[in-house]
Structure 1
Amino acid sequence: MNLFPRSLATRAFLLIALLILLSLIASTILFRQAERTPRAMQLAQMVTSVVNLTRAAVLSADPTLRSALLDEMAESDGIRVFLADPHEQLVPFALHYGVNQKMATDIRIQLGPNTRFASARNGEEGFWVSFFIGDQEFWIMMPAERIERPKPWQWLGWSVLVMFFALIGGALIARQVGKPLKKLASAAYAVGHGETPTPLEESGAAETIAVVRAFNQMSSDLAAIEQERALVLAGISHDLRTPLTRLRIAAEFIDDEASREGMISDVEQMDAVVGQFLEYARLGEQEPIAEIDLQELVSTVAAPYMKRGKSLLITLAEFPPVKARPQLLKRALTNLLDNAIKYGGDEISLESFNADWHGRPCAFFVIQDRGPGIPVEDIEKAKRPFVRLESARSGVGGSGLGLAIVERAARIQGGELRLESREGGGLKATFIIPIVS
C-alpha cells in the first residue's frame, strides 16, 4: 500500500513544507552553534567579574562590617557568599551542555582549576561557584536566571508564524502547479473518449501556457481530422450506394440461378459494409437526447432475434427513466448481439443491471457467448475501426466496424465498452452508460 499522495499539488505542498521545516531546523542549529561560543565567553566573564569583585570586597572590607556588606549584596544583587562546609550537600551543575561546558572551562582558566560548580547547595537552588581566599574556600551563589537561557516561547511563536505564512505560500504555489495540470488531464481524458473539449484557458507560467496552447491546438487538429475523415467516409459510402443498386438490379436478370444468387449475396454484403461505413461516420451526430425506458428499449432490440429462433437468454433489471440517445443505444446493442450470434454459437445471454461506475450510477448491459473469444492481447485492437482479427476472418464477412461502432457509441454517451474472456470459454462484452435522469 502506497501511502504517498498521488496528487501532484499535494506532493508539491508536502515537499515545500518539508523543505521549509528542514530549513528552519538547520537555521536554528546554525544559530545556536554560532552564538554558543560568544555566549559562553560572556557568561564566563560575568561570573569571573562577580567572583573577583566579591573577593575584593570581602578582603578590603573591615572585618566588623563584612556581615553587613554581604547582606547588602544579597539584597541588592541577589549575590550571597557562604563559607564552604565539608558536610554540605551539593547538586552538580550540568556541564555536558555545550555552553555550560565552555563557560566552566573559561572560568577555571581565570579562577583556578579547583573551582567547583553546583546547581544547589544544602537544598538551596541557584548558580554556585567556589573561590578561594588563601586556603579557605567560599561559595558564591548567583540567581540561576543570570546563567540559564530564557525560555524560547516568544521565539517559537515567531517561528510558528513564519512557518504558517510560508506554508500558505507553498499551498498557493502547489495550487498554481496542480490546477492547470488537473484541467489538462480532464481535457485529455475527454479527447481520449472521442469528445472535443472546450479550449483550455491559456494562463499561468510561460511553460504552462505553452503546454496548454499545444494541447488546444492538438485537440482542434484532431477534431478537424475526425470531421474530415467522417465526411470523406460518408461521401465515398454514399457514392457507392448507386452503383451497388444498379448491380443489384442487373443481377436479377442473370439466367443462371447459382450465379444470380451468388452475385446478389455479394452485392448485399457490400451494401451492408457500406451501410456500416455510413453508420460509423454519422454515429450519433444528429440524434438528440431523449428520455427513454431502458427495459423497453432492450426488449425491442432483442425481439427480432427471439422471433428468428435464436437461443437468447434475457435477464433485464428495472431502470428509472433515463436520458440517452435511443437510436445510438439500439445500434450498439444490436451490433453486440450480431457479433455474439456470428461468432458465439447458440448459448447467448443478455443481462442488464444497475451499478456504480467511477462514483456515479450506471446501466450495465452484459452480452455473453460461447464462441472462440478474443485473446487478451487483442482485446483493445478489436475495438479499433477496420480491424478484423484472424479468428473473425474465417467464413464470416464484415467491415471490422461492429465493435468500433459500439466503442464509439459508449464514449459518446460518457460510458465504456469492456471485452473480456468468459469463464468456461467465450466472450463477455459489457456496455456501460451513465444513468442521467
Structure 2
Amino acid sequence: MSARALRYLLPRSVLGRNIALLIVLVALSQVCALSVLVHYVQKPRVERAAAVFGAYIRTLDNALTASPEGERATLVARLDARSEPPAEAVSEPRVRLLAFYRTSQLVTFLETLHRYLPPGTEVRWQGEPHPRMWIRMHVAATPYWIGLQVPEEAQGGGMLTAVLLSIGLGLLAALTGFVLQAYLDRPLRELAQAARRVSAGETPPPLPVDGPTEIAQVSSAFNQMTQALQQAEATRALMLAGISHDIRTPLTKLRLAMAMANDTNGDEAFVGAAESYLDQIDIILQQFMDYAGSGEREAPQRGDLNALISQLAADFAGLGHEFDLQLGELPEHAFRPITMMRLVMNLMQNAVVYGQTGLAVRTWADARAIYVAVADRGKGLSAEELERLKAPFQRGKNAHGKTGGTGLGLAIVERIARLHGGTLAFHAREGGGLEVWAVLPIRLGAHAAGEPSVSGEPSAAQPAA
C-alpha cells in the first residue's frame, strides 16, 4: 500500500489515529494469544483426549467380542447397538462458518483417534441436536454400530468462552483508550480555539494548566505568548498615541502661524498650499492610527447595518458624491459600530477617489453571511493587483497622481473584516468597473470559535449589480 493511500485510509485526527492503532494492537495481541492457546494448549488436550478415547474403544471392542453369544441380545439392547448407523451420521463433520473452530477441533480429534483404533475401524459423526460418535464394534463376533458421547475437549466448548472473553477484553481496552485519548484531546481543542481567537484579534481567557505535564507546558507557553502579544499591542498603541500627539502639536502651531501670516497679508498661495500639505499629513497620520487600532477593543453591539450605510451615503451626498443604494433585508447582527463604519467609509472613499462614476452600495444576506458590496465604474485591475492591494502600503496603478493616501485603506478594511470573522473579495462589475465585497458571517466570532470563515463566492440570494 502506497503512502498516499495510507494517508487517505487513516483518520485525520490524533484521537482517531490513536484509537485505530490501539484497536489494531489489541486485535493482534488477541490473535497471537489465541494462536498460542490453540496450538500449544488446546490441540495437545484434544490429542490426549483422542488417545484416551481410542484406548477405551479398543478395550470395549475386545470385551464385547469376547462376550458369550447368549448374552448378545442383552448387550445390544443396553448399548443401543444398531446394525446400521443413523442416516444423518457422516464420515466427516460438515464445516459451518459460525462453528468453524468447533468443527476444526472435532476434525483434529477424529484424525488423532484413527491412529489409536484397530485398523479398519469405521467411525461416523452425528451432529445436532444430539452429537454422538458411531463406531463399528463386534458384539459376540457380530458387527454392530454403537453410539458414544464425544469428550468435551473435542467439541471446543471452553474455547468459545475464551474467544468471547478475549473480544470483550479487546473492546474494553479500546473503550478505555478512547476515554483517555478524549481526555487528552480536550485541552488541545481548547488550545486550537484560543489560537483562532488570537488570530481574529480577540483576547481569550488563560488556558488551564492543571492537566498532564506535557499539555500543561504547552498551555502555559501559550498563555505566556498571549500575555506577550497583549503587552506588545499595548506598547504599540501607546507609542503610536505618543507619536500622534507629538506630531500634531507642532502641526497645530504651524497652522496657527500660517493663519497669522495670512492675516498679515502673507503669500496666500503659499499659505493655501501649506495648509493642503498639513491636511494630507493629518490624513496620513490618522490612517496610521486606524491601521494600528482596527477596533479590537470596541465591544460588538446589535444594530442596523443598513441604517449605518444610509447615514454614510447621506454624508457623501452632502459632499457631492451620490451613491445608488440597493439595501436588501438583513438579519439583526452584532458588529462593532465605529469599526464597521470605518470599513464601509473606506470602501466608499476609495470608490469616490478611484472610481468617480457609477457609485453604488448594495447589501444582501443568505443563511451564512451578510454581504456589503461597494461598486464604481473605474478602470479595472487584474486579480493579482487587487489581491496585492490588501497588503499595507500597496497602491494600484489607477492611484498614480492621487495624493493624501498611504496604501493602508484596503489593509484597514481587510483587518476589520477579519476582526468580524469575515473576508474581503474583489469582483468585476457587470458592465465594467469594480465591486468590493465585505463578507461577514451571521454569527459574530464564528471564525474565532473554530468555524470556517465564509468565502467571497457569490450567493444565490444576491441582487443584481
Normalised by the length of structure 1, the TM-score is: 0.81
| Contact 2:137–2:143, Cα closer than 8 Å, also in 1 | yes
Map Cα deviations across residues 211-261 of structure 1 (whole Å, 9 max, x no partner): 212211111111111111121112112211122233334455475555444
SS of aligned partner of 1:356:
coil
Q: Is the 8 A contact 1:410 1:433 kept in 2?
A: no
Work out whether 1:240 is the aligned partner of 2:243. no
Provide the C-alpha distance between the structure 1 equivalents of 2:268 and 2:26, rounded to a whole number of angstroms.
Answer: 89
* Residues 199-214 of structure 1: pairs in structure 2 closer than 5 A: 199-214=206-221
Q: Is residue 270 of structure 1 aligned with residue 277 of structure 2?
A: no
Deviation at 1:376, TM superposition (A): 4.6
- In structure 2, do the counterparts of structure 1 residues 70 and 215 end up closer, same or farther at CA, with 3 Å as the change threshold? same
Distance 2:163 2:388 in 1: 62
Deviation at 1:428, TM superposition (A): 2.2
Matches within 5 A, 1:9-20: 9-20=15-26
- Which ranges of structure 1 fall in alignment gaps of 5 or more residues? 75-79
3-state SS in 2 of match to 1:430: strand
With over 3 angstroms needed to count, the CA separation of the structure-2 counterparts of 1:88 and 1:341, relative to structure 1, is: closer
Q: Secondary structure in 2 aligned to 1:92?
A: coil
Give the distance between the partners of 1:102 and 1:206, measured in 2 at CA: 55
AA of the residue aligned to 1:27: A
Instruction: Mark the CA change 1:139 to 1:389 in structure 2 (over 3 Å): closer, same or farther.
Output: farther
Contact 2:356 2:378 in 1 (8 A): yes
Q: What is the deviation of 1:369? A: 3.5
Residue 293 of structure 1, CA deviation: 3.0
User: How big is the shift at 1:313?
Assistant: 2.2
Partner SS, residue 118 of structure 1: strand
Partners of 1:88 and 1:219 in 2: CA distance: 84
Structure 1 residue 55, shift from structure 2 partner: 1.2
Whether the 8 Å contact between 1:84 and 1:139 is mirrored in structure 2 is yes
What is residue 438 of structure 2 aligned with on the other side? 430
1:81-92 alignment, distance < 5 Å = 81-83=81-83, 91-92=90-91
1:353 match: secondary structure? strand
Shift of 1:40: 3.0
Which residue of the other structure, out of 358, 361, 370, is the alignment partner of 1:363?
A: 370
Shift of 1:288: 5.2
Partner of 1:99: 105
Distance in 1 (CA, whole Å) between partners of 2:421 and 2:253 is 41
8 A Cα contact 2:58 2:118, kept in partner: no
Offset, 1:415: 2.9
- Decide which structure has greater strand share: 1
Work out which of the residue numbers 216, 231, 239 in structure 1 matches 2:238. Answer: 231
Contact 2:427/2:436, CA 8 A, preserved across alignment: yes
Amino acid aligned to 2:393: V
Q: CA deviation at 1:191?
A: 0.8
Deviation at 1:58, TM superposition (A): 0.8
- Deviation of the 1:93 alpha carbon: 1.7
Aligned to 1:310: 321
Which residues in structure 2 correspond to 1:335-354 (within 5 Å)? 335-354=346-365
Question: Which aligned pairs between 1:10-409 and structure 2 lie closer than 5 A?
Answer: 10-72=16-78, 74=79, 80-83=80-83, 91-94=90-93, 98-120=104-126, 126-130=132-136, 138-144=144-150, 146=152, 147-150=154-157, 154-155=161-162, 158-159=165-166, 161-251=168-258, 253=261, 255-256=266-267, 258-284=269-295, 287=298, 289-310=300-321, 312-319=323-330, 322-357=333-368, 362-371=369-378, 376=383, 382-384=389-391, 386-391=392-397, 394-397=400-403, 398-409=405-416
Taking a change above 3 Å as real, the CA distance of residues 235 and 20 of structure 1, as seen in their structure-2 partners, is: same
Residue 204 of structure 1, CA deviation? 2.4
Aligned equivalents of 1:401, 1:209: Cα separation in 2: 40
Deviation track 1:330-368 (CA, whole Å, cap 9, x = no partner) reads: 1221012112223334233312223333xxxx5332223
Could you tell me whether the CA contact under 8 Å between 1:10 and 1:174 is conserved in 2?
no
Choose 266-275 or 110-119, whichever is displaced more. 110-119
Q: Report Cα offsets for 1:253-302 as digits up to 9, x if no partner.
A: 47555544433222211110112223334443665555533322211011
Shift in CA distance, 366/221, structure 1 to aligned 2, threshold 3 Å? same
Secondary structure class of the residue paired with 1:119: strand
Report the number of matched residues: 421
Query: What is the CA distance between 1:200 and its match in structure 2?
Result: 0.4
RMSD: 3.7
Deviations 1:109-155 (A, max 9, x none): 2224533332249x996212345799975533213575433386654
Q: Aligned residues: percent identity?
A: 29
**1:52 aligned partner, one-letter code:** R
Q: What CA distance in whole angstroms lies between the structure 2 residues aligned with 1:136 and 1:93?
A: 25
Change (3 A) 1:353 1:136: same
Q: Distance in 1 between matches of 2:206 and 2:189?
A: 14
The residue aligned with 2:450 is none
C-alpha deviation, 1:198, in angstroms: 0.9
Provide structure 2 residue ranges, at least 5 long, that are not aligned to the other structure: 1-7, 96-102, 445-465
| More displaced 10-residue stretch of structure 1: 30-39 or 231-240 | 30-39
